[in-house]
Structure 1
Amino acid sequence: MSVQLSPTAAGTFGADMAVLSTGDVRIPVHPDTPVAARLRDQAYRAAAGSTDIREAVARYAGTASADQVLIAPGARAAIQLMVASALTDRREVLIPTPYWASYPTVLRSAGATPVPVPGEVGLAADLAAFEAARTPATGAVIVNSPRNPDGAVVSEADLDAIVDWTGEHGILLVFDQVYRGVPVGEGMAASPLERTELPEHCVVIDGLTKSHALAGLRIGWAIASTERRATAAKLASHLTGGTSSVVEDIAVAVLVDDETQQRLRPTLNANLTNAYDRLSAIAGISISKPPGGIFLFPDLGDQRPDLVTWLRDEHQVAVVDGAAFGAPGHVRLSFALEPEQLAVGIDRLCRALGGDHG
């Protein structure tokens, strides 16, 4: 059976590769009508984002104002700008394991020192582990909820405790919620933005890549106190120079369309159930059904040291090695694909690992 893949996937792996290693949402949900870019202004936009896009993000966030919003060319750039502009002599940043594979590099590029904190798959953040890892040099903590790679979510009670603990110790809390708007599971994960007022030491990171299936726009944002946002905006004027005016205008139009996530919901949840049911039936695999995000993160045990390469070369299915996230033995696979493509990939994975194959 031949499956038509995206040009990027086909160009990277070959025409018949079932790509489960993607990090974006590849389910077609947008109406078949072009988004007209407003071409009235092609001069430089403000480095922190135009008033229109910042107001649109503030409305989407619900409890923020436009002067708290920093627009950036992607969420990782937003993290880089906020961390680089905030940290001084205390430059260690705690990141719970498993963690998004790019955090260490993004933090180093911001002049910080990433400090992985031992953790568990399925447990997004552990305050006791943070306290054990804290040193006089600890300047920030990153909490990703729902988390890449395992979909783990921080509870409201745990988040409140982390917000209080970071505030008590003068530590910046960078709360990365780029998967929060992905319509998987029941309700929305907890967020610092649900507070009446965002604490001064908290920064919230978000974007359109996952929640609105728009990875190619490369637009993200940070929400922070007006003072922190202003400091980061000064750095942005030199480092990133702002985002594309066309991208900003498209993002404004997309944020007005509140149906995108609802169009994603049925396919994402059906995909998750189908993939989880198939993989959980394979003997020797440990897997949990994630409450959020777009990934499954099964523990395959001691299958073979070259497992990911073997799956790619011998079974034509691409997954990501869990070692990249600080969790060797696991693999990350996306269920945010068109159902037919996902079914082929799961079928090949099950066949390779000794399970049923449809």
Structure 2
Amino acid sequence: MKPLNPIVAACPPSGIRRFFDIAATLDNVISLGVGEPDYVTPWHVREAGIYALEQGYTTYTSNAGLLELREAIVKDLSRRYAVSFDPAAECLITSGVSQGLDLAMRTLLAPGDEVIIPEPCYVAYGPCVTFAGGTPVYVPSDERFHILIDEIERAITPRTKAILVSSPSNPTGAIQPREVLEALVALAVRHDLYLVSDEIYERLSYDAPHTCVASLDGARDRTVLLGGFSKAHAMTGWRVGYICAPAPILELAGRIHQYTMLCAPHVSQAAALEGLRAGEPRVAEMVAGYDRRRRLFAKGLNDIGLTCDEPQGAFYAFPSIRSTGLNSETFAERLLEAERVAVVPGSVFGPSGEGHIRCSYATALPLLDEALERMGRFVASLQH
């Protein structure tokens, strides 16, 4: 048989899914591994989806998505961040932010183009660049997981096309300070680079208002903004995201979308529209719940000897496990075997992630308490 695609064959399976799959074979496991809200999609949003089914909204929409939904998205961005997009030409509905990221990379990159990615970073970033024919170039962040502008500038070459950033961050929960993002925009302007900003966790910002990269001076015309409904609206399985970007970028992204996805599911788009129109009280309630959990969970991690800054956003803690003497993969494997708690090794998020583990606190407080008790037992056992 002829060989299969060597680029895909060289791509390792997701390190997140690997531990999730192992945990699924075991009994009595508390999973802190997968980044999914434990909240069910709010009833009024589910009801909108049911109504859409009852009305027979089971057809394709336009390739770009329901115009009503696009109008609601750009209106919401304008209201909260004072950034303006044309819903007809500068907003595209995608099947989740994952598809939006794929479209962005395939639209921006020619073969051999480089994308600079501060890490630790989400596991899909590098593969999406590679699948689009580009080359991911990873640069470290500082000890608080803030972007180092000097490191990014040193990584720029004649092949650099874009910088891919995420704030709030998966896996670290870090939020990039506004002044750092302003410096990043200035750098992109100076070197004529695109910015791809993954802002799927933008509603989950606890200590400071979210900074939308596209809203910063000089950023809008070179920024691809990725957002969606999975996290703050608890709609992971509905698969609705969006891209907002200048019209020339969106036109080409739309061509790829036409031939590959056609459109996001009609029913899901109807539900997302209801979430935007009437979902704010429920979003605020969920954010407040995550806020309580992140403070209690970070304190609990520090109490058992795993140093952890209080996460500023998203729903992840990224504690250091260096005091145990184990690397992150060994720690995660042994913790799962000994105490049935599933976490993700920090090493899967890039070299800077080694020495840490990612824990999702998007689960009920009693389970978080039980997980901390089990983790404390495990850490104590390593001291003997």
TM-score by length of 2: 0.84
Unaligned runs of 5+ in 1: 1-7
For the 8 Å contact 1:75–1:205, the answer to whether it is kept is yes
Q: Using the TM superposition, give the Cα deviation of residue 40 of structure 1 relative to its aligned residue in structure 2, in angstroms.
A: 4.6
The reply to whether residue 146 of structure 1 matches residue 168 of structure 2 is yes
Are residues 10 and 91 of structure 1, via their aligned partners in 2, closer, same or farther at CA, if it must alter by over 3 Å? closer
- Residue type of the alignment partner of 1:94: I
Question: Which amino acid is 2:47 matched to?
Answer: P
What's the offset of the Cα at 1:15?
4.2
Identity of aligned residues (%): 24
Distance in 2 (CA, whole Å) between partners of 1:176 and 1:349 is 31
Confirm whether residue 74 of structure 1 aligns to residue 96 of structure 2.
yes
Provide the residue aligned with 1:164 in structure 2: 186
Aligned to 2:349: 325
Partner of 1:227: 248
Q: 2:332 aligns with which of 308, 311, 325?
A: 308
Hey, what's the Cα distance between the residues in 2 that align with 1:229 and 1:259? 32
Given that 1:298 and 1:331 are in contact with CA atoms closer than 8 Å, whether structure 2 keeps it comes out as: yes
Deviation at 1:110, TM superposition (A): 1.9
Do residues 236 (structure 1) and 252 (structure 2) align? no
Matches within 5 A, 1:1-358: 12-28=24-40, 30-31=42-43, 34-35=47-48, 36-38=50-52, 39-62=55-78, 63=83, 64-66=85-87, 67-88=89-110, 91-182=113-204, 184-195=205-216, 199-256=220-277, 257-283=279-305, 285-301=306-322, 302-305=324-327, 306-326=330-350, 327-354=353-380
Distance 1:260 1:15, change over 3 A: farther
Range with bigger deviation, 162-171 or 313-322:
162-171
Tell me by how many angstroms 1:324 deviates. Answer: 0.4
| Shift in Å, 1:14 | 3.5
Measure how far apart 1:92 and its partner are.
0.5
Q: Mark the CA change 1:237 to 1:29 in structure 2 (over 3 Å): closer, same or farther.
A: closer
**Matched AA of 2:359:** L
Contact 1:268 1:335 in 2 (8 A): yes
Q: RMSD over aligned Cα, in angstroms?
A: 2.2
Whole-angstrom distance in 2 between the partners of 1:73 and 1:94: 25
Question: By how many angstroms is 1:198 displaced?
Answer: 5.4
Distance 1:65 1:124 in 2: 32
Amino acid at match of 1:48: A
Change (3 A) 1:287 1:28: same
- Opposite residue 379 of structure 2, the aligned amino acid is L
Can you give the 5+ residue segments of structure 2 that lack an aligned partner in the other structure?
1-19
Deviation, structure 1 residue 296:
0.4
Number of corresponding residues: 346
Higher helix content, 1 or 2: 2
Query: C-alpha displacement at 1:41, in angstroms?
Result: 3.8
- Give the 3 Å change call, closer, same or farther, for CA 343–251 of structure 1 in structure 2: same
C-alpha distance in 2 between matches for 1:176 and 1:314: 36
Q: 1:28 to 1:243 in 2, by over 3 A?
A: closer
Residue identity opposite 2:332 in structure 1: V
Q: 1:110 to 1:240 in 2, by over 3 A?
A: farther
Query: Does the 8 Å contact 2:111/2:132 carry over to 1?
Result: no
Give the conservation status (yes or no) of the 8 Å contact 1:287–1:299. yes
Q: Is the 8 A contact 1:97 1:117 kept in 2?
A: yes
Shift of 1:348: 1.1
Offset, 1:121: 4.5
1:76-114 deviation per Cα after TM superposition (whole angstroms, max 9, x unaligned): 210111221122366100101111111111211222211
Q: Deviations over 1:213-258 (max 9, x none)?
A: 2111111111101221112111111122221111111111111121
- Contact 1:98–1:120 (Cα < 8 Å) also in 2: no
Structure 2 SS opposite 1:159? helix
Residues 90, 139 of structure 1: 8 Å contact kept? no
Deviation of 1:13 (Å): 4.3
Judge conservation of contact 2:30–2:367 (CA < 8 Å) in 1.
yes
Deviation of residue 157 (structure 1)? 1.4
TM-score (structure 1 length as normaliser): 0.90
**Matched residue of 2:47: which SS?**
coil
Q: CA deviation at 1:345?
A: 1.4
Report what 1:5 is aligned to: none
Deviation at 1:350, TM superposition (A): 1.6
CA displacement at 1:9 relative to structure 2: 8.7
Distance 1:68 1:237 in 2: 16
